[in-house]
Amino acid sequence: MRIGLYFGSFNPIHTGHLIIANYVAYNTDLDKVWFVVSPQNPLKTSSTLLNEHDRFHLVELAIKDEPRLRASNIEFSLPRPSFTVDTLAYMGEKFPTQEFAIIMGSDSFQNLPRWKNYMHIVQHYPIYVYRRPGHDITETYGARIEVLDAPMLDISATNIRQWIKEGKSVRYMVPDNVINYIQENNYFR
């Protein structure tokens, strides 16, 4: 089975994430897409980061009825911050019969040379890159990439958190069951 790994904080997961994952799951040669919830991204710091178990639960809620999508908390048991190369090595040991690929936006792909051991990643894993406005793919860094024109929504988790804090509606940007859980638990207030 070929599995695409979609890494992120998902703080919170929103419709933009879901559209990309669904598009990749049904429009590439990948069989499934796993949302890998990252406890701590080494290239980002955030004082507004919801607990990783809560973010994982929100991802599970968002995708519960979609058989090709899965939430993964594999990085929760790994050292922090989370480095993709270490996660990939661990997943290879834990799931030796699976083939893994990475899914990322062209904005993240531009940062690839900043990643720990990125050359190992590009030599051993295909990368599915979805285009993000303003972030052209001008360099491949030696990676085997498939460029995707997935439908894009200009939705930001940062804006969603701010609107929740201000008491504004985020309906249609976040699945209803996720919004309800966020409100019930007073997240991002």
Chain position carrying tokens 């069989």: 31
Would you call the peptide bond into 67 cis, given omega within 30 degrees of 0 as the criterion? no
The CATH number given to whatever domain includes residue 90 is: 3.40.50.620
Q: 183 in a domain, yes or no?
A: no
pLDDT at 166: 97
The answer to whether position 185 is within a domain reads: no
Taking only the tens place, the pLDDT of each residue in 49-100 is 899 999 999 999 999 999 999 999 999 999 988 899 999 999 999 999 999 9
Judged against a pLDDT cut of 80, whether residue 119 lies above it is answered with yes
Residue 77 placed within a domain: yes
Q: How far apart are CA 98 and CA 176, in angstroms?
A: 33
Does any domain span residue 51?
yes
SS3 129: strand
**Count of positions (residues) in the chain:** 189
Reported pTM: 0.95
How many C-alpha atoms does 156 have within 13 Å on its Cβ side?
A: 4
**Within a domain: residue 146?**
yes
The number of distinct structural domains making up the chain is: 1
Residue 48 is part of which domain span?
A: 2-152
